[in-house]
Homo-oligomer: A and B are copies of this chain.
Amino acid sequence: MPSPIDFWFDYSSPYGYLASERIEAVAARHDRAVVWHPMLLGAVFKVTGERPLIDAPLKGEYSLMDIRRSAREHGIAFAMPELFPIGAVAASRATLWLRDHEDAARAARAVPLIHALYRAYWRDGRDISTPSSVLDIAADTGVERAELEAALGERSVKDALRAEVDSSIDRGVFGSPSFAVDGELFWGHDRLEMLERWLASGSW
């Protein structure tokens, strides 16, 4: 199997949510796996000096319209949550702890948890910023609650998120969603088509 698609996303990113609903089909069509990388745009913005998209004059209004339009085009259920943006630290730590778990059965629950968290927030308007909300949602996907609760307090799990965020910046990732395949970086939900053309043709 060829090398996987790296997929970076912030739970607070609506375009990240849209891409999370589509990336597996793209990968499957080209015999690729997906490596899911939760990231924190807040940490990236400290490097880039950017600010949340929706706060920007003109661009923010356009983006809200465009996110809804993009969801409609791809048939993805979407509703702008009242609480926005939210902190994604707990959600991201839970995701990394599962993704990198040495027990394969637990590691296999990472992607279902990602979808459950993203949909809880961007489809159902639930707050996913608190540890207790993350624990509730994780428990619904079959993750053992007490075990995850303990993990969220562990230094190694906190360090893992810090390392993941640093590594995303080292890779040149500055926005959510971003994709990389065979060393080639693509930024933006609207670049999934370009990623597919790249996967199909090899290069230009």
Contacts and interface: CB of A to CB of B under 8 A. Distances in A.
A30 interface: no
B49 A56 contact: yes
A108 interface: no
A172 B61 contact: yes
Contact of A194 (B50, B58, B59, B190): B190
Nearest to A173: B58
Interface residues of A, number: 31
A193 B61 CA distance: 21
A169 interface: yes
Copy number in the complex reads 2
A172 B58 contact: yes
A58 B190 contact: no
A39 to B, nearest CB: 12
B204 A69 contact: yes
Contact of A62 (B61, B69, B174): B174
Nearest to A186: B66
Given A58-B173, A62-B172, 17 more contacts: A47-B57, A49-B57, A50-B59, A56-B174, A57-B174, A58-B172, A58-B174, A59-B187, A62-B174, A62-B187, A73-B197, A73-B204, A188-B190, A190-B190, A190-B191, A190-B194, A193-B193
